[in-house]
Structure 1
Amino acid sequence: MVTRDAMVMRYGGVFALILTAGAAMAAEPGVGNALGCEHVAFVRAGVPGGLVGPAREACNGDPRDIRCCVAPDGALWMADSRDCVVWRIKDGQARIAAGCGVKGYRDGPADRAMFDFGVGSYCDVETNCDAAGNIYVSDMMNNAIRRIFKKPDGAWWVETVSGGGKKGRDPKKGEWVPASELRFGGASRFAVADDGTLYYANYGGIYQVKDGKGTRLATHEELSAQLGGRKALADWHVGGSHITPDGVFYWAPGGQEIFRFDTRAAGAGGASGKAELVAGEGPKQTDGATPRESGFHTVVVVYSRDASVIYTGGGDESVPRRIHKGAVRHLQKDGSFKPGNERDRDNWRLNQPVCLGPGGELYTFPGPYAWAGWLVRVTFGEEGR
């Protein structure tokens, strides 16, 4: 049973249940059917950002250029590459937590910091957090990954944790160099472990950054050999990276195929971890018999903590899909997930996933012909419901 004040809205013959603030679900969020959508933040896109206050009245520049993460305290952090600022949404209030709104490169007090995220058609920025609540964003026009954190005196601060320098060193596998000197100082998609260790795939291979130093875990040649000659490292636009608690790194270059790499053995005595294809060999936009036999077309990818649940969408696909227990399924009009393809699906026009919450709830930005500019949270029932 769902308790709510609700309204049913119709767009192009597609009905969706939009839950207002204070909605409560009887079932715990999980991997069952979609139960409803809640408007979390923002009302318009395509206008200058910066209007702060009540989250559902704030404005942002363009939802295609935004990625989010949920911090341990429940705050939602969002990097906005159109306006080069980072938002914090907590208790129904939205404010700009970092960035002065001017493109550039400057560390220091968060409200004076400068970012240059770049603007692309497929959301070229990433936001992640560690277990301590530190926030990390990819700042690729500056070839860097930046960290936003609270100092002991309560002031928010921005610092560069990888890249941003000019030396351009590319370490050999197992060789550690100052992170500020890395030639590939970051990637538009990267992952953060609980302890703040960074992982990312770029043209030179898979990299790890920890305690101010960086190394290469695997070279491009090693990965290509393990993956049957595939070009697994094109750092182009969409996709999504993730590191599981047990050290398995996922990445999806170009949003076409999803790969994983076991970092636990990588670098030890020159060894290379195992790399394998997870999904994406099939025809584009089609749910195959298995994830490998399914196909994706420049999608954004988000992961549950252990990567047992993966959602794709956005980019050149307008429908969220779920990868779970060896199956790929499209979201349907009735809230269920069923096999299909981009042309025969019935959907809620939720479009682009931006992150998963701790309870499995999916944050998305709908397409421009639905609730343009809204940040929406989708809640799911228990498996089988």
Structure 2
Amino acid sequence: MTAISTRGLLIALIATAVGLGALASAQPYGSGEPNTTPIELRVWQSLDDPTDIAIGARAPGGAWGELGMVCLRLDDGFTAGGHYRYGQTALEVPLMDFAPVGVEVRVWQAINVPHVIYVSARGVGGSWDLLGTFRFRLDHGVRPDLGYRFGDMRIEVELPEPQVITLAGSAGERGYVDGVGRDARFRSTPPGAMGLDVDAEGNVIVADYSNDAIRRIARDGTVTTIAGGNGSGLRDGPADVAQFAGPTDVAVAPDGTIYVAQARNDHIRKITPDGVVTTVAGNGSLEVNLDPARARDGPAGEAIFFQMKAIALGPDGDLYILENSRIRRLSPSGWVSTVAGGPRVGFVDGRGPSARFGSLTDIAVDARGALYVLESNIWVSGRADWYEIVRKIDANGVVRTLFRDPLPHAGGRLAYPEALTVGPGGDIYISNTAHNQIVRLTPAGEVNAVAGSAEVGSGDGQYGTAEFSRPGALALAPDGALIVADQEGTVVRAILPGPDGLRTGAQLVEVGVLPRLEGVRVTRFAGSGSSLGGLRGDGGPADKAYFRGVRGIALDPAGNVLVADDGNHAVRRISTDGTISTLAGGNGEGVRDGPRDLAQFTRPLRVAVDAEGVIYVLEDAYRRVRRIAPDGTVSTLAGAQMTNIRSIATEPDGSLLFPRAGGILRRAPDGSISTLVAGSGAVSAIAVDGEGSVFYTVDEHFAGTLKVLSPTGEASTVLDAWSGTGRAQLSPSVTGIAIAPDGSVYLADPGFGRVLRLDRSGALAIVADRAFAGSQRGSPNSIVVPPEGDLLVSDAWQHVIWKITIDEDAGR
């Protein structure tokens, strides 16, 4: 490493690096001195052309390849005497636990002696005079394979005082460890299960769901277990022997009493300041209530809850309990009552039980006792789409909608939010989870971003540069800091207030809407639209037939359309002349093999056909695979009953592919099972093109990603989960993929209720959405491209198959 002497002062360029992991976690939140970090710089010079200069940079321990070799053209200017020319560039250097830091590098080169190099460097916004300009010898190494020599140096770059810091935990590292800052470990799965609150002294109290423990984070980042952690159970008593079963949220009273929502068997527990745990609501049974109609009000010890999600304390000591579709209240006297909502789901404002809620996710209470609830991904009748909703419940139990926004694919600003809290001025802070930001909803209905760059990451930093990953639970600390459960329940962060409190500090993710194809015509290809006729219609035209939940469709080698008729437990066939018949099954629900007219199926979900005309049927109920031979004999495929199978596809060699949670399995013609794709998210849809390339969709961060595996085994991403404009292009639940002869990829996306086309140029457009069904609830499920080029799309909600014709000349 090089040391730089400037103005007689020897500035050592960091022989040893300060560990970046301690930058923020060791500070008490709300205070701390500015930090610095070492940055390593590398200057490259071509062995053949000394005027060919490149720059590299990394944090200590990082990889030079992350930024690569950045070409630096020495064309920014000359010295006054004309003996040197120089070039300047700026690099954003990734750091381990902090937002990327900007570094500017200036290289001077003697015109007549190009091997003579001078260098100056600074952090963005810093002074060139700090280090000055010094002779730099490129003698640290040679890369003959690249044709470059290089020299290395380190500079110390000042980091801005962080406004978003990590209090405890390490991003993505799950475990159960008490400790300080990033040495501590939490295990709150599934994502969104970590609840938290702040006590009067600023300690953060955490419901650590999977560890069955209640943890405390002191202001200096020290994590301790204050109750539980002794296995799952309902045992009361001293905190160190008490047991919890899936604590999902906490609420702290002014006197330090901690209330705990225990989600696994729907009880409310209490931890007194002297460390005694008692059960204060719930009937004492470990049995899980699976029926919302069984929920019961009354004395706390006899009350029954359903899908308890979150809790919040009111100013009068009432504890409000959020369930899936209703809000309950536990009074200080020990009585449980329903404030609003009930077992029936929906979207209806009103008073008390007359109001309806869908999927409630969080609750907060303001200083006057008004309740605020968050609902995510709610179907709104009359709007033909899904919405994110914030509603308010006043002291009289009247529910009204404060804010309603469609999902991002339709231009909405909120993306699967998981949590909210309310500030003293009426601002509502929301974890905009899929956009990796914390936003504020003002009393005027405006949405702006408080913190988060919207990039997935864990770096601390300024409001606009800090990174989040699936932020969840929120709580306001006494000093105005906003505490955030982050990194899918493995980290607790703090957003520190400025002199004027928490204000707009980041750029709100901009959203957009995909273009629509012109010249699209939709007609009904098969199905009458009624599900009440059983198998009626066989032997006649397909558009007069009855289906009951038509699901998967496929083409056989002759061009016939095969249909998985879910509710009729049958496989139907539509011939090329439009006549429909029952190919196999339709004899009631069952698992009977044998001749096709006697065989039984149990809810056929998907169908696939190989080159020989053998039909494979994936059953929904048990994920069993059945085989229909060309002669009509039905058999059960040995060794092909696997868990979490989502679909089925065939390869040219006769192998079967099964997408599942975590990857794709392959069953070879000899019956052997192997893993084709491993380590991915849940794979929901799959298709194989004529060349043997495998296209599949993966659930990644609330959205679908389209990937392809080439015949040689090379994997690549065709369509990212998020477009970069805040718009999820695919939902996590894509169920159909079809490859057209021209290479275009068509996708059936019931989650967003639309059919999309990705053409060979990479242009993505909407072919048709829910409106094509003539109903708000059209649900495209499976898709094929017949030889004539039209699309056929099954609609599970409408019990029909749609034909979509695209006039490629329209709009030109």
* TM norm structure 1: 0.71
Could you tell me which residue of structure 1 aligns to residue 310 of structure 2?
189
Could you tell me which residue of structure 2 aligns to residue 90 of structure 1?
218
Could you tell me which residue of structure 1 aligns to residue 243 of structure 2?
114
Aligned to 1:180, what secondary structure does the other structure show? coil
Query: What whole-Å deviation, never above 9, does each CA across 1:4-26 have from its counterpart, x for those lacking one?
Result: 13246835995379xxxxxxxxx
AA aligned opposite 1:59: R
Could you tell me which residue of structure 1 aligns to residue 205 of structure 2?
77
Quote how far apart the aligned CAs of 1:275 are. 0.7
Is the contact made by 1:350 and 1:364 (CA closer than 8 Å) also made in structure 2?
A: no
Q: 2:416 aligns with which of 293, 298, 313?
A: 298
CA distance in 2, matches of 1:80, 1:246: 30
Q: 1:282 aligns with which of 406, 419, 426?
A: 406
Q: 2:277 aligns with which of 150, 158, 169?
A: 158
Is the contact made by 1:259 and 1:276 (CA closer than 8 Å) also made in structure 2?
A: yes
Could you tell me which residue of structure 1 aligns to residue 650 of structure 2?
none
CA distance in 1, matches of 2:271, 2:209: 16
Could you tell me which residue of structure 1 aligns to residue 668 of structure 2?
none
Q: How does 1:181-260 map to 2 (within 5 A)?
A: 181-184=302-305, 187-202=308-323, 205-210=326-331, 211-220=333-342, 225-226=348-349, 231-235=356-360, 239-254=361-376, 256-260=388-392
Quote how far apart the aligned CAs of 1:332 are. 6.3
Q: Pairwise CA RMSD of aligned residues?
A: 3.8
CA distance in 2, matches of 1:134, 1:89: 16
1:38 aligns with 2:162: no
Is the contact made by 2:405 and 2:413 (CA closer than 8 Å) also made in structure 1?
A: yes
CA distance in 1, matches of 2:325, 2:485: 32
AA aligned opposite 1:81: Y
CA distance in 1, matches of 2:239, 2:174: 23
Query: What whole-Å deviation, never above 9, does each CA across 1:62-82 have from its counterpart, x for those lacking one?
Result: 584422211012221111112
Aligned to 1:160, what secondary structure does the other structure show? strand
Quote how far apart the aligned CAs of 1:103 are. 1.4
Q: How does 1:324-363 map to 2 (within 5 A)?
A: 324-326=442-444, 327-331=446-450, 347-351=465-469, 352-354=471-473, 355-363=475-483
Instruction: Show structure 1 runs of 5+ residues with no match.
Output: 18-33, 119-124, 266-272, 289-293, 336-345
AA aligned opposite 1:108: G
Quote how far apart the aligned CAs of 1:253 are. 3.0
Quote how far apart the aligned CAs of 1:112 are. 1.2
Quote how far apart the aligned CAs of 1:353 are. 4.5
* TM norm structure 2: 0.36
CA distance in 2, matches of 1:47, 1:179: 35
Could you tell me which residue of structure 2 aligns to residue 20 of structure 1?
none
1:5 aligns with 2:34: yes
CA distance in 2, matches of 1:280, 1:223: 14
The structure with the largest alpha-carbon Rg is 2
Query: What whole-Å deviation, never above 9, does each CA across 1:155-210 have from its counterpart, x for those lacking one?
Result: x0111222243598755xxxx72112222267211211244311134356332111
CA distance in 2, matches of 1:141, 1:305: 30
Is the contact made by 1:241 and 1:252 (CA closer than 8 Å) also made in structure 2?
A: yes
Return 221-230 or 277-286, whichever deviates more.
221-230
Q: 2:267 aligns with which of 144, 148, 152?
A: 144
CA distance in 2, matches of 1:253, 1:77: 24
Quote how far apart the aligned CAs of 1:223 are. 8.8
Aligned to 2:484, what secondary structure does the other structure show? strand
Is the contact made by 2:171 and 2:487 (CA closer than 8 Å) also made in structure 1?
A: no
Is the contact made by 1:144 and 1:186 (CA closer than 8 Å) also made in structure 2?
A: no
Residues 157 and 240 (structure 1 numbering): CA distance in 2 closer, same or farther, change over 3 Å? same
Is the contact made by 2:345 and 2:356 (CA closer than 8 Å) also made in structure 1?
A: no
CA distance in 2, matches of 1:16, 1:161: 50
Residues 60 and 115 (structure 1 numbering): CA distance in 2 closer, same or farther, change over 3 Å? same
AA aligned opposite 1:363: I
CA distance in 1, matches of 2:171, 2:398: 44
Aligned to 2:376, what secondary structure does the other structure show? helix
CA distance in 1, matches of 2:200, 2:415: 32
Tell me how many residue pairs correspond in the alignment.
324
Is the contact made by 1:279 and 1:295 (CA closer than 8 Å) also made in structure 2?
A: no
Quote how far apart the aligned CAs of 1:55 are. 3.9
CA distance in 2, matches of 1:177, 1:36: 46
Residues 203 and 16 (structure 1 numbering): CA distance in 2 closer, same or farther, change over 3 Å? same
Quote how far apart the aligned CAs of 1:226 are. 2.4
Quote how far apart the aligned CAs of 1:361 are. 1.2
Identity of matched residues, %: 19
1:130 aligns with 2:257: no
Quote how far apart the aligned CAs of 1:83 are. 1.0
Query: What whole-Å deviation, never above 9, does each CA across 1:305-334 have from its counterpart, x for those lacking one?
Result: 447222222643322212224210134678
AA aligned opposite 2:349: Q
Could you tell me which residue of structure 2 aligns to residue 15 of structure 1?
100
CA distance in 2, matches of 1:219, 1:314: 25
Return 39-48 or 319-328, whichever deviates more.
39-48
Residues 16 and 135 (structure 1 numbering): CA distance in 2 closer, same or farther, change over 3 Å? farther
Is the contact made by 1:162 and 1:180 (CA closer than 8 Å) also made in structure 2?
A: yes
Is the contact made by 1:45 and 1:59 (CA closer than 8 Å) also made in structure 2?
A: no
1:379 aligns with 2:496: yes
AA aligned opposite 2:280: V
Instruction: Show structure 2 runs of 5+ residues with no match.
Output: 1-30, 38-92, 103-160, 378-387, 455-463, 505-812
Residues 360 and 102 (structure 1 numbering): CA distance in 2 closer, same or farther, change over 3 Å? same
Return 211-220 or 138-147, whichever deviates more.
211-220
Residues 54 and 333 (structure 1 numbering): CA distance in 2 closer, same or farther, change over 3 Å? closer
Is the contact made by 2:437 and 2:452 (CA closer than 8 Å) also made in structure 1?
A: no
Could you tell me which residue of structure 1 aligns to residue 429 of structure 2?
311
